[in-house]
């Protein structure tokens, strides 16, 4: 058993930045809500190994000196040592530079696995934590129907990308969630079940069963999710007056990543390489021809450039797949789904812009723009997104213009994972097109709510290659030489982006980022 002396300042007797001393090193020490935390550097010094931050899974992974891997998940109190689950009581936090771990329970878990660290004042601190301040009153007062009930019913339905559980309520409520595999728990403060409500219901799809129980001042809804999943997301829908819990199944890309990660952890360094599949989406097609100006239509131009891009990427060693190979109509939801199902690593949707107004005005507006999926900032970008989203109407369903606020909430997970990467990808495109035949429009970069990017679980960009309403842009967009030049620039920008991300181009795996690297919480 390893016994180390840990020099610690008494809790409450020193400022939070005093630091923790271990083996000659000082490690940032702070507190959250009265609990002492220590940075991830503490474990690196203790184990003599470097840890790695896995952004897609929001996990910090570090091997100890025996070769066992320790896993810590952001905003989660549960951790793993190999296959063994541990409970840190308090969630893992993240500061501007470091990941932070709750120190008293961390010392307990370390002791259970052979690292005995003397810190009696902290050991006692865990058994007698600071008295919490009184809980604030709920900001939302629950609405009670006659009879006192405000949780009306719970139902589940199977969807293409997972399972949707709806908790219908009388009105908005305070809620909290906890993920304790295989159970996902929702607690509604001030919740009240009706006397006739069944306590247990059969689930569907990814949810095996749903168990609902009334406690003194809350209702707890527990979902039994035995299968491997991607994410669980909760959002309140005012339209249906329900809390909608979306349990998403793993995409082909995530399955591929997990398979590779498992192989790497098992010591198999011959796992299939990632970072080689580029999804090219030629916008429009079939009954949706897009913009048409002077005999040149958008659907034909995007398909021609897409074929040239596929050829250019193949020369660089990349595998490129197209959402359509001919003049076929593909719905907007099918395009990003194809990208995710194929395990794509980058998604680029090709389009041509257009503008109305006087002929003189049309000749003044020229250039390309690279868009990422975020809520539009300008009315011009919102109008463009509405125009492109009109293709949903061609599917025979209700046409959608802008992405409504409730859907932006549901998209939060995708945006958190890939928004920064998509922005970097767009910036690489803009740099590569500097000095090209078609100049950039404005800054060349923007954001808007394009449905074609929704569900693409990878860095994704919608590229408006130029304005068909501008004579010079249209000549370039409709000529074989111009289409080949656009494709070559795009291929180079993709290659440079992949290499800049540390992927080294085709055939090389992605490096894990350091936990102490700065990043968005």
Q: Which of the four pLDDT bands, split at 50, 70 and 90, describes residue 131?
A: very low
pLDDT at position 51: 86
The CATH-assigned architecture of domain 2-127 is 2-Layer Sandwich (3.30)
Tell me what pLDDT residue 509 has: 41
Question: Could you tell me the sign of the dihedral formed by the alpha carbons of 258, 259, 262, 265, in that order?
Answer: negative
pLDDT at 128: 36
Rounded to an integer, what distance in angstroms lies between the CA atom of residue 284 and that of residue 425? Answer: 22
The span from the CA of 422 to the CA of 218, in Å, is 41
At 510 the pLDDT is: 38
**Within 13 Å, how many C-alpha atoms sit on residue 76's CB side?**
18
Beta strands in 354-503 (DSSP E): 368-373, 440-448, 460-467
Q: Tell me the C-alpha distance between 436 and 487, whole Å.
A: 12
The residue with greater pLDDT, 267 or 465, is 465
Q: How confident is the model at residue 145 (pLDDT cuts 50, 70, 90)?
A: low
* % of the chain exceeding 70 in pLDDT: 72
Examine domains 2-127 and 151-248 and report if their fold is the same: no
In this prediction, residue 240 carries a pLDDT of: 86
Strand 209-214 relative to strand 218-224, pairing: antiparallel
Ramachandran quadrant class, 307 (left: phi over 0; alpha: psi -120 to 50; beta: rest): alpha
Q: pLDDT digits over 403-443, tens only?
A: 776 566 666 666 777 888 898 999 999 999 988 888 888 77
Least confident residue range of 51-60, 369-378, 436-445: 51-60
What is the predicted pLDDT for the residue at 303? 97
Predicted pLDDT at 518: 30
**Contacts with 269 (C-beta within 8 Å, 6 or more apart), sequence order:** none
Every domain of the chain and the residues it spans: 2-127, 151-248, 279-500
Per cent of the chain over pLDDT 90 is 23
Q: How confident is the model at residue 79 (pLDDT cuts 50, 70, 90)?
A: confident
Q: Which residue has the higher pLDDT, 337 or 262?
A: 337
Out of 37-46, 96-105, 155-164, 332-341, pick the least confident: 96-105
Region 304-332: mean pLDDT is 94
178: helix, strand or coil? strand
pTM (whole model) above 0.75: no
- For the stretch 150-199, pLDDT in tens is 888 888 898 877 899 999 898 888 888 777 678 888 888 888 887 766 56
* Residue-level pLDDT at 52: 86
**Ranges 59-68, 119-128, 223-232, 388-397, most confident:** 59-68
pLDDT of residue 177: 76
pLDDT band at 262 (very low <50, low <70, confident <90, very high): low
DSSP H/E element including 163:
strand 162-169
Among 97, 2, 44, residue whose Cα is nearest residue 516: 97
pLDDT level of residue 121 (50, 70, 90 thresholds): very low
Give the residue among 79, 43, 181, 63 at the shortest CA–CA distance from 71. Answer: 79
Residue-averaged pLDDT of the chain: 77
Q: Which CATH number fits domain 151-248: 2.60.40.3500, 3.80.10.10, 3.30.1130.10, 3.30.360.10?
A: 2.60.40.3500
Q: pLDDT for 268-300, tens place per residue?
A: 433 334 457 999 999 999 998 999 999 999 999
Closest CA to 433 of 458, 456, 460, 464: 464
Which architecture does CATH list for 279-500?
A: 3-Layer(aba) Sandwich (3.40)
Sign of the C-alpha dihedral computed for residues 40, 41, 44 and 45 taken in this order = negative
Who has greater pLDDT, 95 or 308?
Answer: 308
With helix as H, strand as E and coil as C, how does 439-473 read? CEEEEEEEEECCHHHCCCCCCEEEEEEEECCCHHH
Confidence of residue 386 (pLDDT cuts 50, 70, 90): confident
The helix or strand, by DSSP H or E, that contains position 60, with its residue range, turns out to be: strand 59-63
pLDDT tens digit string along 471-488? 999 999 999 999 999 999
Give the pLDDT of residue 5: 42
* Strand 346-353 relative to strand 277-282, pairing: parallel
> What span, in angstroms and rounded, lies between the C-alpha atoms of 52 and 475?
50
């Amino acid at each position: 058993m390893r016994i180390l002396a840990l020099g610690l300042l008494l809790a409450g007797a020193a400022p939070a930045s005093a630091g923790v001393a271990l083996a000659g090193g000082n490690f940032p020490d702070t507190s959250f809500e009265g609990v002492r935390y220590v940075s991830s550097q503490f474990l690196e010094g203790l184990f003599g190994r470097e840890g790695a931050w896995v952004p897609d899974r929001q996990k910090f992974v570090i091997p100890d000196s025996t070769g066992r891997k320790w896993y810590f998940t952001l905003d989660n109190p549960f951790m793993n040592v190999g296959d063994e689950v541990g409970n840190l009581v308090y969630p893992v936090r993240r500061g501007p530079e470091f990941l932070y771990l709750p120190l008293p329970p961390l010392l307990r878990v370390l002791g259970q696995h052979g690292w005995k660290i003397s810190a009696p004042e902290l050991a006692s601190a865990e058994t007698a934590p600071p008295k919490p301040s009184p809980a604030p009153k709920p900001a939302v007062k629950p609405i009670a129907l006659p009879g006192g009930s405000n949780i009306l019913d719970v139902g589940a339905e199977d969807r293409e990308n997972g399972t949707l559980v709806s908790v219908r309520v009388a009105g908005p409520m305070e809620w909290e969630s906890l993920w304790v595999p295989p159970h996902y728990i929702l607690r509604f403060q001030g919740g009240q079940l009706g006397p006739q409500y069944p306590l247990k219901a059969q689930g569907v799809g990814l949810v095996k069963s749903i168990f609902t129980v009334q406690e003194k001042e809350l209702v707890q809804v527990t979902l039994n999710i035995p299968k491997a999943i991607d994410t669980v997301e909760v959002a309140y829908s005012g339209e249906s007056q329900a809390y909608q819990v979306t349990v998403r199944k793993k995409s082909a890309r995530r399955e591929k990543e997990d398979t590779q990660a498992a192989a790497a952890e098992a010591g198999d360094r011959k796992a299939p390489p990632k970072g080689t599949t580029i999804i090219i989406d030629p916008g429009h097609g079939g009954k949706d021809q897009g913009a048409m100006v002077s005999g040149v239509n958008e659907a034909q131009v995007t398909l021609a450039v897409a074929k040239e891009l596929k050829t250019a990427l193949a020369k660089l060693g990349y595998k490129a797949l197209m959402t359509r190979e001919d003049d076929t109509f593909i719905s907007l939801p099918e395009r990003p789904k194809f990208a995710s199902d194929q395990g794509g690593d980058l998604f680029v949707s090709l389009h041509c812009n257009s503008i109305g107004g006087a002929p003189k005005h049309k000749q003044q507006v020229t250039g390309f723009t690279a868009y990422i999926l975020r809520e539009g900032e300008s009315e011009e970008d919102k109008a463009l997104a509405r125009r492109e989203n009109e293709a949903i109407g061609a599917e025979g369903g209700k046409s959608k213009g802008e992405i409504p606020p409730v859907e932006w909430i549901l998209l939060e997970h995708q945006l958190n994972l890939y928004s920064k990467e998509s922005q970097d990808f767009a910036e690489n495109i803009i740099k590569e097109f500097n000095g090209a035949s078609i100049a950039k429009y404005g800054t060349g970069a923007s954001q808007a709510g394009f449905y074609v990017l929704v569900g693409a679980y990878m860095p994704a960009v919608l590229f408006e290659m130029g304005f068909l309403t501008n004579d010079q842009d249209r000549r370039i967009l409709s000529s074989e030489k111009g289409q080949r030049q656009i494709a070559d620039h795009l291929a180079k920008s993709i290659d440079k982006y992949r290499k800049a991300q540390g992927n080294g181009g085709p055939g090389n795996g992605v490096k894990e980022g350091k936990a102490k690297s700065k990043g968005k919480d």
